[in-house]
Structures are given as C-alpha cells and as structure tokens.
Chain A
Amino acid sequence: MTLDAKTLLNYEKMDLLRLTTAGSVDDGKSTLIGRLLYDSKGVFEDQLEAIRKTTQKKGGDDIDFALITDGLAAEREQGITIDVAYRYFTTAKRKFIIADTPGHEQYTRNMVTGASTADLAIILIDARNGVMVQSKRHGYIAKLLGIPHIVVAINKMDLVDFKQDVFEKIKSDYEAFFKELSGEHPGRSSVQDLVFIPISALKGDNVTVKSAATPWYSGKALLDHLETVEIARDRNLDDFRFPVQLVLRPNPDYRGFAGKIASGIARKGQKIISLPSGVTSTIKAIDTFEGEVDEAVPPMSVTLRLSNEIDISRGDMLIYPGNESRCQNRFEAYLCWMVKEPLMLKDKYLLKLATAEVKAMVLRIRWVRDMKTLDKMSTQALTLNDIALVEFQTLKPICFDPYARNRATGSFILMDELNNNTVAAGMIVE
C-alpha cells in the first residue's frame, strides 16, 4: 500500500521494520530491492531519470532496477559492491530500513553486520539453481545472529514457467536444512517463522501484488508480508536490563543515570540491583524530556533517578532482583572475525559489551566453520570471515546474558588496542 497524505494521518502508529537481504547479484537481489523501492515510491524522478539514461547507455530499453542500488565510484569501477548500504522506504503501514549486503567478497563479514540489527532476513534463491551452498550459508548466519523472521524468496520463477513443483522442492530442501541447524542458538531469538514466497523480481510477480501466474500459491505477496509480520513480540519485555551510559549531574540536586532500556520494562518504585557491585536501590523517577513517566519500554532512552545515593557509573548494569545477569570472567561465544590480520590465541583485545569495556583474550578455539561445507573444523588461529566457537577470558568479570536470551546484552565487539579497528563481533553462548 503506497503512502499518501490520507494514510499518513496514521504515522503516529506506524512502526519500524529492519531487514537485511542475502543473495548474490546473480540471484536478483539488487533487482528486488530496486523494485521494492520503486513500487513504494522510494525512488525519486530525478534519480530515475539518471537510471533510465544509464540503462539506455548500456543498451537496455526499460529501467534496470539493479541500478537503483548502485553504489560508490570505487565499486562501479570494479563492478562489485564492497560494503553494506542502507536503504529506506515507507508504506502506509510501516517504515522499512534495509541493510543491503553485497553478495561477493567479504560476504560473511557484511552479512553478519547487516543481520546484527535485523528483525527479518530475505534470503534469495534462484529457482533454476535450487538450494546451493551459499543459500545455506545465508540461513546459517541469519540463525546465528538470531534474526526472528526469515523469508526465503524463490526468485526467477518466470524462468521456470512458475512451476509449483520447482517451488515445493526448494521449500522442502531448505526446511530440511533448517532442521539440521536447530542445534545452534535455541531460545527466544531463534527463528520464529520461515516463510517461502515464489517471486519474479524482474517482472514483479508476488513482490508488491499477488501474481496471477502462481494460482497455486496461497500466501501473501512479499511486501504484504513485510508490512504485516508481527514483530512487537520479538522484544524481550521480561528481563529488565539497563546499561548505564552516563551520569547526568546538571546541578547538585540532580543525579540521574542516562541510558537505553535494553530489555524489560522500567517501572517507578521497582527495587533494582546495580551490577557488578551488587548494591541495591529503588527507581524513584523515570525522567524524559517530556516529563516523568511511570514506566518505560525498550528501546526508549530515559534517565533514571534512584532513591538513595549509590556509586554507579558508565558500564554498570541495572537489573531487578531475582532476574539477574551473569557476571563472569570466562565464557564461550560465537565469534565472527572481520579483519585480515588473524586472531591469535592469548592476544589481548578490548571487548565492548553494552556500555562496558574490558580487556579480553581467547583461550581456546573449539571449532571454526568451514563456510563452504558448514562443517566444524579445528584451528589455532582465525582469519577474515571465519565464524568460530571460542572460549574467552576477561581481565575483570563482565555482566551479560546469553545472546539467545537477550541480543542487547549478549552481543559484543572486539577492538584492536594498537590500530583501534573493530576486529570481531561476538555472541555469548554462556
């Protein structure tokens, strides 16, 4: 449903869906995104005119939708995309943010990045090729990063005459593969729905409207699914976690703890514990620019005032008694290595988790995934795009939850102390 002035009266009720797309250029990913943007008026006339000109220059006659997502000069020169690009469109129901990840080089690193903030992943499969190893790799990463909703868009259905049996075969193959994966990350953030949609991104079938060419398909068109998939329940409203960002002291009478509610619900009058110190207090007030509120939900940024003066600073985490995070200096985590310089055992890195920072090292690599076969292998070092299960030791205990229970307090990055680069992304197992 496209946006107009009338439907916009509703904008206070519109929510936000973050999605990521996985597939190589040959799977028609750029064409699909281009079409979604075009059909939802996310592309402007002057941009379109430029694209028309380029299409004609290249000898095409209509619009090459893939050009809508064209990137940097450096990329055009090499004919490849090298980095995640973010795209935006709005319909009458939702605002969408697409993390558009390139399909070629550094694939794992880029998809992990795009997946880290996504509520939903679209995995493209070329109907002519069936389930290839890369489609499995995409599913593996989506699941590892705890993306709750997955859409498998079986594309280029026009090239297989919209045959139902082609669609059904891919669907059952992929479902079988997903069952095998179920060992990793069971729990709250595991995949809640796996939906298959037969499409032609090029011709538009089942992208924004249902196609007459697939009478055997009873599900929704892709855009309709994106607009209606239920995401409110994905949030963890059970475990209150408030990583303190900074202490606000504008005058001697005011001392507030500013931060974003990572999960759970902040309530006035609730007893809290500050981790790792363990000191307790009560929420006296929840302040916002608009005034005090009685409760606040994720991902609101608020300021908490407490009933007594206790020593709390950036990096501490406020929680409720009886529902505590773990504070440990040893844990296991999935690690995605993101730079060319290899990870060496026992090298020290700076680990950032929520607002806390601590020095950390990897004691042991339990296994690394061969991203071609998805088999587990043993190794002593990690290199670019490796995904591994490792054992960490930190200099001081750090407070966390398993990633499967809480994406916000179970994820971390590693930074190199010398060149300051972000070298890895991690998800804590326990």
Chain B
Amino acid sequence: MPTLTDSKTLSHLKQLEAESIYIIREVAAEFKNPVMLYSVGKDSSCMVRLAQKAFHPGKIPFPLMHVDTGYKFPEMYEFRDKFVQEIGAKLIVERNEEAIAAGSSPFKYGVQKCCGLLKTQGLLDGLNKHGFDAAFGGARREEEKSRAKERVYSFRDSFGQWDPKNQRPELWDLYNSKINEGESIRVFPLSNWTELDIWLYIEMEKIPVVPIYFTHTRKIIKRKELLIPWVSHIPILPGDEVKDMRVRFRSLGCMSCTGAIQSNPEVHDLRGIIEDLISTRKSERENRIIDHGSDSSMEQKKKEGYF
C-alpha cells in the first residue's frame, strides 16, 4: 500500500498546469477545428507552452491565430515571428483590413468603436473565415469582474456573443462541448491562474516573453496620469509632455491604448517583476485605457463577441 508523503502533493503551479493541459486535450479530442488565439503577451506565452506540453512529443495539432490591429508594439511583431518559428507552430494572422484601410483608430472613432472593429470584428471574421468551432483564449477570471463569472467552456451563439445570464452549468472537470452548426465555444484554460501564477510559471519554465515587460528607455507622451508610448499616429494634445522615460509594461496591447508604468525600481529580470507585483497594489488592467469606458465595458464587449 502506498504511503502518503509530501512529495506526492503537487504544488499549486503544477496543479494549475495539469488542469490546463487536461482542458487543452479535451478540446483537441472533442472539437473538429480548434484554434488558439495568440496575442503575443505573457498569458499567450504560457498558454502556448501548456499546449506544447499537452501534445508532447508531437507538435501542437491546431494553428495559433493572432488578431492583429496594426497598432501593436514593433517589439511584439518581432517577438511573435521569432517565437512561433522556434516552436514550429502554425501561425495565422487575421486583420480587419477593411476597417484598417478606412483609417480606424481610437482618435477617429473612440476607443470602444475602434476595439469593436479591429479586435472584436477582426476576431469574429477570422473565426468565421476558417470555420473554427473552438477558440482558446488566455483570459483569466482574476482579471476583471465579468470574467470572474466566465466558464472554462464559454458557449457563443452564431454571432459569437456571450450571454452572461444564460450560461451552461459547469461542474467537476466535465466540460460540455456540444454545439450546433455555426455556434462555437471559447475555451479558457488559464481561468484559474492569477497574474502572479503566470509570472511564477514563466520563471519556473523559462518561457520567453516580449522584452518590453522589463525596464527600457522609451519616448513617452505624459498625459495627466497616463504614460502613453509615443508613436507617430498618436495626436499630441495641449498639456501633453513628450519625453524619454524609463518605463515598462505590465500588460500589452495596442500602442495607443496601453499605458506604460514608470519603472522605479528598475526591473531587469523575472524575479524583479514578481517582487514588484507582490509589492504593488494596482491591478494589471489599470493601465489599459480600453477598460475605462464605463463600469461594465468589458462585460459589454464580451457580450458583443470579444474574448
């Protein structure tokens, strides 16, 4: 009879890892045409590593899809292409070319509409174009209050919309993959991870991340409390201050809508990020301009089809 020892208890990170791998394998087994949404950030990096683990020694059996807006950081594009090539994954890049050609930007249309066109519509068009029936996303429940109520398997109707009042019950680790033609499931294998778990795992697994999570010098537009990374298409307003600063980013998105944080103390390694995370008391989405629309802007976006 086996005896119980401490070595037979998995650490919280190993338990989270095991759960995520299980979810990723369930999807591969039960759906015809899954895709993994890849947004180049830290959560995506983790999710892709978990997918590699799930199918080892084989390759990831589904493509990664980056819904691009054209407004991401140059460092992100560079990292994306190198990372995907290194792990031998198949990458699909989808853009809402029509909206991009029409000059969509947060300055022309406002943040909400720009996001709706470039991100949500770009995503829905991409999913439709390839006929994906399941799409993995790296969202975590801890991130935002509407995400706290999200399922691991999030059912979406044929318009990709989320109905928070009418979600399928989800019990144990028994996920319901049943859908009719045209409907789809968004799958969140990192549901139970926190930002701290992500960084600890990246450190433990030595997972590469975009270097601008670390302190670097960058031209910044200082607008009241916000530090907006300078790029030529962002209009300078009266009162703005443009200067080189030592900054880093806590989460990554479009340049025009992602605030930097002043990096003091300087952070040059993962341990530094982790220590800073424990001592800072601000949520990671605070510098995401995108969430500031209204008290429930994320909930609204999700209802419209955002992941």
Contact = CB atoms under 8 A, between A and B. Distances in A.
Nearest to A244: B29
A314 B28 CA distance: 11
Contact of B179 (A73, A259, A420): A420
Contacts of A412: 174
Contacts of A258: 25, 54-55
A83 B147 CA distance: 12
Contacts of B173: 117, 260, 408
Contacts of B275: 5, 8
18 contacts: A5-B274, A44-B282, A44-B286, A46-B283, A72-B146, A85-B145, A113-B170, A117-B172, A246-B28, A248-B58, A254-B58, A299-B19, A301-B22, A411-B172, A411-B174, A412-B174, A422-B170, A425-B171
A117 B170 CA distance: 10
A288 B85 CA distance: 23
A17 to B, nearest CB: 9
Contact of A250 (B28, B58, B180): B58
B178 A260 contact: no
B168 A422 contact: yes
A144 to B, nearest CB: 13
B22 A41 contact: no
Nearest to B294: A73
Interface in A334-357: 338, 350, 352-355
A285 B178 CA distance: 34
B10 A288 contact: no
Nearest to A45: B281
B41 to A, nearest CB: 19
Interface in A406-430: 407-408, 411-413, 415, 420-422, 425
Interface in B120-160: 141-142, 145-146, 148-149
A411 B178 CA distance: 19
A301 B170 contact: no
Interface string A50-93: 00000000000000000000111110000000111111101000
A372 interface: no
Q: How large is the interface on A (under 10, 10 to 19, 20 to 34, 35 or more residues)?
A: 35 or more
Given A15-B10, A88-B141, A88-B192, A413 B299 contact: no
B193 to A, nearest CB: 9
B177 to A, nearest CB: 9
Summarize A's interface: helix, strand, loop or mixed: mixed
Interface string B41-70: 000000000001111111100000000000
Contact of A421 (B15, B168, B171, B300): B168
B264 interface: no
The 3 closest A-B pairs by CB, nearest first: A250-B58, A420-B178, A301-B21
B99 interface: no
Given A116-B172, A299-B19, A5 B200 contact: no
A250 B57 CA distance: 7
B22 A260 contact: yes
B149 A72 contact: yes
B9 interface: yes
B134 to A, nearest CB: 14
B167 interface: yes
Nearest to A291: B56
Contact of A425 (B26, B169, B204): B169
Contacts of A154: none
